Amino acid sequence: MEQEKLIELDKKHFIHPTSSIQQQQKDGAKMIVEKGDGIYLTDRNDNVYIDAMSSLWNVNVGHGREELAEAAAEQMKKLAFSSTFSTFSHEPAILLAEKISSLAPEGLNAVFFTSGGSESNDTAIKLARHYWRVQDKPERRKIIGINRAYHGVAAASTSATGIPEFWNMAGKMMTDIYHADNPYGIGKDKALSSLRSVIETEGPETVAAFIAEPIQGAGGVLVPPENYLQEVRNLCDEYGILYIADEVITGFGRTGKWFGVENYGVTPDIISFAKGVTSGYIQLGGVIVSDQIHDVLKEKSAGTLFHGYTYSGHPTATAVGLKNIEIMENEGLLENAQKMGEVMLKGFKKLKEELDIVGDVRAVGLLGAVELVEDPATNKRFASDLQVAPKVIEALHQRGVICRAVTYEGTDIICFCPPLIINEQQIETMIERLHDAIKEVR
């Protein structure tokens, strides 16, 4: 169909997620993507872009993988869908649950499947409450998250998200969710004392769980200060609170390890995952629970667990998940993420030497960010009407790189999350273009 016609239909009939409806009506679709191959996306006018965000932080093995299409087709022909409710089961879901357990940190060996990250975090939060309820502690209901966290847009995940804009649309969906300060900007000690103070104020005996991403993604790729997560783990233990790690972005190789927490030597009680488990080829998410939680559930969760999605453990999605993990293992993509992550960080550091508005730069594996500030010596930010990150993103787009700006709370952060198959030369190209884009808007 003609591009013009598609844009007209898009405006008329398609309400886009996380978008400005008014801007869509005014400008129409900015880009209609036609195909993907490796780290590249191509639009309908044959413009080629580096997908420096792995689309939505998820296309870990890169675009255009025939093996994944074949795994889906094979499974669909054999058994496209069958329920896993009650005691029904099927091979791909069983094998993927087993595989994920083998990759997860020690002591986490049971998986509940969902269709995506929001459902995973809702599930984690509901399971945490259920865990306490079946142990005759129904008063342990409160959830504590941290500011700038993003956990999704379902009921509990919207509430756990620490970016209040997400509560505007329909209110904070759940009560009993509180947020502690983020270590970003204030440091580990103040953030930990804020967390302790929220726990103490709310009453530790009423808190079910703490939830956080090991490295915050949508908040601006915020890497935790040294020992922060270990001390969070200690605090949770001190108060008997469950620790949920939201690994929706950081899981499945993104940081050069299977799970982000492995970089910090902490073991959570529950891990939520999605995105990278299928590299976005099909919708799938889930939570992994500790043996301790699983044992409590086995012993005390009597009757039906009234929680399940039609697509929990979808045969086609789980078959694709298995193949996706096989690709990661066969191609050594975790090692590549580590090595290329170092190359990317080196490139960012060079930019910092060359350009006078580059502030903090960071990367763990292939999850990184470049922060732009008016004065790197003092970290002084640009005035809110002069924020530069969106302009840099636009200049990058013109140069064939798609990435994301975070301007929340006056920050100017350019996020990078390229596919784990990226090579050195492609990283260099990406960084050269970033250099030119920053220079242009400066």
User: Toward ligand PLP, which CB reaches closer, 229 or 373?
Assistant: 229
CA distance 121 to 173: 14
In the bound complex, what is the minimum distance in angstroms from residue 341's beta carbon to ligand PLP?
A: 18
In the bound complex, what is the minimum distance in angstroms from residue 409's beta carbon to ligand PLP?
A: 18
Determine which residue in the list 124, 156, 274, 328 makes contact with ligand PLP, applying CB under 6 A: 274
Q: Convert residues 109-138 into a mask of x (bound to ligand PLP by CB under 6 A) and - (unbound).
A: -------xxx--x-----------------
In the bound complex, what is the minimum distance in angstroms from residue 97's beta carbon to ligand PLP?
A: 19
User: Toward ligand PLP, which CB reaches closer, 84 or 123?
Assistant: 123
Query: What distances in angstroms separate CA 198 from CA 145, 156, 235, 293, 357, one per listed residue?
Result: 10, 19, 12, 24, 36
In the bound complex, what is the minimum distance in angstroms from residue 68's beta carbon to ligand PLP?
A: 18
Q: Convert residues 314-353 into a mask of x (bound to ligand PLP by CB under 6 A) and - (unbound).
A: ----------------------------------------
The stretch near ligand PLP (CB under 6 A) out of 144-152, 232-240, 397-405, 423-431 is 144-152
In the bound complex, what is the minimum distance in angstroms from residue 17's beta carbon to ligand PLP?
A: 8
Question: Does 249 sit near ligand PLP (CB under 6 A)?
Answer: yes
Question: Does 278 sit near ligand PLP (CB under 6 A)?
Answer: no
In the bound complex, what is the minimum distance in angstroms from residue 354's beta carbon to ligand PLP?
A: 31
In the bound complex, what is the minimum distance in angstroms from residue 1's beta carbon to ligand PLP?
A: 28
User: Toward ligand PLP, which CB reaches closer, 287 or 388?
Assistant: 287
Residue 54's nearest CA partner among 335, 333, 434, 416 is: 416
User: Toward ligand PLP, which CB reaches closer, 152 or 341?
Assistant: 152
In the bound complex, what is the minimum distance in angstroms from residue 313's beta carbon to ligand PLP?
A: 16
Q: Cβ-closest residue to ligand PLP?
A: 117
In the bound complex, what is the minimum distance in angstroms from residue 272's beta carbon to ligand PLP?
A: 7
Q: What residues numbered 145-174 form the site for ligand PLP, per CB under 6 A?
A: 150-152
- How many residues of this chain interact with ligand PLP, rule: CB under 6 A? 15
CA distance 311 to 199: 35
User: Toward ligand PLP, which CB reaches closer, 104 or 358?
Assistant: 104
User: Toward ligand PLP, which CB reaches closer, 218 or 242?
Assistant: 218
363 phi and psi angles, rounded to 5 deg = -165, 140
Q: Convert the chain into a string of H (helix), E (strand) and C (coil).
A: CCHHHHHHHHHHHCCCCCCCHHHHHHHCCCCCEEEEEECEEEECCCCEEEECCHHHHCCCCCECCHHHHHHHHHHHHHHCCCCCCCCCCCHHHHHHHHHHHHHCCCCEEEEEEECCHHHHHHHHHHHHHHHHHCCCCCCCCEEEEECCCCCCCCHHHHHHCCCHHHHCCCCCCCCCEEEECCCCCCCHHHHHHHHHHHHHHHCHHHEEEEEECCCECCCCCECCCCCHHHHHHHHHHHHCCEEEEECCCCCCCCCCCCCHHHHHCCCCCEEEECHHHCCCCCCCEEEEEEHHHHHHHHHHCCCCCCCCCCCCCCHHHHHHHHHHHHHHHHCCHHHHHHHHHHHHHHHHHHHHHHCCCEEEEEEECCEEEEEECCECCCCECCCHHHCCHHHHHHHHHHCCEECEEECHHHCCEEEECCCCCCCHHHHHHHHHHHHHHHHHHC
In the bound complex, what is the minimum distance in angstroms from residue 294's beta carbon to ligand PLP?
A: 22
Write the burial class of residue 247 (CB in 10 Å: 0-12 exposed, 13-18 middle, 19+ buried). buried
Which residues neighbour 432 within 8 Å (Cβ) at sequence distance 6 or greater?
none
In the bound complex, what is the minimum distance in angstroms from residue 57's beta carbon to ligand PLP?
A: 6
User: Toward ligand PLP, which CB reaches closer, 217 or 341?
Assistant: 217
Question: Does 51 sit near ligand PLP (CB under 6 A)?
Answer: no
Strands 108-114 and 401-402: what pairing? unpaired
User: Toward ligand PLP, which CB reaches closer, 110 or 211?
Assistant: 211
User: Toward ligand PLP, which CB reaches closer, 152 or 321?
Assistant: 152
In the bound complex, what is the minimum distance in angstroms from residue 173's beta carbon to ligand PLP?
A: 14
Write down the residue that tokens 């013009």 correspond to.
4
The stretch near ligand PLP (CB under 6 A) out of 30-38, 243-251, 337-345, 431-439 is 243-251
Q: What residues numbered 168-227 form the site for ligand PLP, per CB under 6 A?
A: 213, 217-218
The stretch near ligand PLP (CB under 6 A) out of 130-138, 226-234, 245-253, 397-405 is 245-253
- Kindly list the residues in this chain that would bind ligand PLP in the complex (CB under 6 A): 57, 116-118, 121, 150-152, 213, 217-218, 246, 248-249, 274
